[in-house]
Amino acid sequence: MMQPLITATLSLALGQAPDTTPAAVTPPEPPVQARLSFVANDADFGASDSLTRLHAALDARTPELTSGLSAEAGVSLFINGGSQGLGFQDNSSFFRLRYRADTWSREEGLALTAYPLSSTRLYMGYEYPVTWARQAYPVREGGAEPALELRLSRKRWSAFAAVKSARVINNLELESERRLALLAGAGVELTPGLRVDVEATTVDRGLAPAPAMVGEKLEVRARGLSGRVQWNRGVAIGPSVDLSLYAGDPAFHERFFEPESYPGGLAAAVSLEGSFMEQPLESPETGEPEDVNAAAAALGARVKWNDLRLHGLAYYRTVNFIQVDVPGLPPFQALAEDSNPRPEVSFTMGADYHLQELGLTPGLLLRATVPAATRFPLGGNLGGAPRLAVLQGPNQLSILPDGVDREPVLTLKATVRWDLGRVAGVLAELAYTRDPNRTSFEDDETGVARPVLTDPHAVGGNLLLQARF
């Protein structure tokens, strides 16, 4: 199904407003903090696919237990409504032990973090659209994917190691078994403002199900690297108000309400990153293992001049990278030799201006995206010949009619952030998108379903209300 063409977002936050002057001393974090967010999405006002849900979060921190040792925990979950009643979905809740020596600064420390249910806060990559391995196991028995992370942060360098695990079905032995994913990385500040980060992972996904069901053993082990070079000058620059792009980030509800500082003068940040991974999948031609490569890259830039902010983001993703956490298309199967996969390329530019006396930050954003596409075989009464399909996300396909090629998707947004003292704030986004790749299926004169182009224009809206206690 195609993604919405237009989105609009309105957010209300109750809590501390962003500072407009640099803080001399960072205030201590409260021992207990709660957040309650109401999320509503209507991607297309002319359609009936609206969604509402609640996000609840509770963070608790202990005082120092022994010399330098403290503990903290965070409960984060979604409450979803549906025809079967209320449903609960964990959003990477955690428990953490933290140690900081007397001579270390507040930002330094050694932390051991356990994620008992889900671990989407542990991942590869850096800029959200090109992150991966958030869910290392697409099919899990019981649904849980716990993780354990050890992270050391010093003033000019950091390092981490983590392990994820899940129970998956072994279709060869007809039993469940535990598989592991290992992640590790390090970063160093080469000179003031210039930092390099590198990460690596190996994921044991278990046996490919289709070969196992006919008695053949194909172990799927993914291996990959991510790296980034980042330069910054001046105060930190927060993310742009691009809620539809970052809505899947598990830290979304915290990050978009962090205080933003406007001390005056120039600040800038530029980052360049890339990721490469490889995993064996079943060849559709021979049925034998075939090494499948996936790649992604992103270039981001942020500039702040007094009260003006400029944001830019360009990224590249191959078809296999979009499917990296749900490997294969179909599942655990490599693309056919004649599939002719073409990558996704996206460019986003935005600007906003902070009106300090009113607490308003209005802005504009423009995005152009050439979506990924590949020839995809159809079955059933849809005809067996492969057709060109546009990928909007993992397993989200828009099948194009015969003779129709992919076209760029254009998005224009108007945004605003309104800070109301220390107790409330509003975040709003109104976007128009033209997507000529939208399709639906209709029966032809012979009763066979065929893809047809639909109206490329749509208007929709998102609403996020957050209260902090």
Q: Pairing between strand 8-14 and 424-434? A: antiparallel
- Whether 327 is covered by a domain: the verdict is yes
- Whether 373 is covered by a domain: the verdict is no
Burial of 101 (C-beta count, 10 Å sphere; 0-12/13-18/19+): exposed
DSSP SS3 for 86 = strand
DSSP SS3 for 233 = strand
Residue 174 has what pLDDT? 81
Residue 259 has what pLDDT? 80
Torsion from C-alpha of 104, 108, 112, 117, nearest 10 degrees = 150
Q: Is the peptide bond before 22 cis (omega within 30 degrees of 0)?
A: no
Q: Which two tokens stand for residue 23?
A: 């803080």
- Whether 2 is covered by a domain: the verdict is no
State the Cα–Cα distance between residues 367 and 279, nearest whole angstrom: 32
Global confidence as pTM: 0.88
- Whether 3 is covered by a domain: the verdict is no
Q: Which two tokens stand for residue 158?
A: 């950091």
pLDDT in tens, the chain (469 residues): 444 433 333 333 333 334 444 443 455 667 888 888 888 777 777 777 778 889 899 999 998 888 899 999 999 999 987 666 788 889 999 999 999 999 999 889 999 999 999 999 999 999 999 999 998 888 788 779 999 999 999 999 999 999 999 998 888 888 889 999 999 999 999 999 999 999 999 999 988 888 888 888 888 999 999 999 999 999 999 888 887 888 778 888 777 777 888 999 999 999 999 999 999 999 988 888 999 999 999 999 999 999 999 999 999 999 999 999 988 888 899 998 889 999 999 999 999 999 998 889 999 999 999 999 999 876 544 455 788 999 988 989 899 998 899 999 999 999 888 887 677 777 888 889 999 999 988 888 888 888 899 999 988 877 778 887 8
Residue 28 has what pLDDT? 62
Other residues' Cβ atoms within 10 Å of the Cβ of residue 308:
13
DSSP SS3 for 125 = coil
Extended beta strands in 62-174, E state: 69-82, 85-90, 94-99, 109-115, 147-153, 157-170
Burial of 378 (C-beta count, 10 Å sphere; 0-12/13-18/19+): middle
User: Are the C-beta atoms of 392 and 2 separated by less than 8 Å?
Assistant: yes
Q: Which residues have C-beta within 8 Å of that of residue 354, sequence separation ≥ 6?
A: 20, 260, 262, 307, 308, 309, 360, 361
Instruction: Give the domain CATH number at 427.
Output: 2.40.160
Query: How many degrees, rounded to 5, is the angle at CA 368 between CA 362 and CA 371?
Result: 135
The total number of structural domains in the chain stands at 1
State the Cα–Cα distance between residues 280 and 331, nearest whole angstrom: 12
Residue 24 has what pLDDT? 39
- Whether 1 is covered by a domain: the verdict is no
- Whether 251 is covered by a domain: the verdict is yes
Residue 14 has what pLDDT? 37
Q: Which residues have C-beta within 8 Å of that of residue 187, sequence separation ≥ 6?
A: 157, 158, 159, 195, 196, 197, 198
Domain of residue 238, residue span: 8-368+378-391+398-432+442-468
Q: Which residues have C-beta within 8 Å of that of residue 100, sequence separation ≥ 6?
A: 68, 70, 106, 108, 109, 110
- Report the greatest alpha carbon distance in the chain: 78
Integer angstrom CA distances of residue 413 from 21, 78, 433, 439: 28, 27, 9, 23
Q: Which two tokens stand for residue 355?
A: 């009106």
Q: In what order do the strands lie in the sheet with 387-393?
A: 372-376, 387-393, 396-399
- Whether 420 is covered by a domain: the verdict is yes
- Whether 65 is covered by a domain: the verdict is yes
Residue 23 has what pLDDT? 41
Residue 295 has what pLDDT? 98
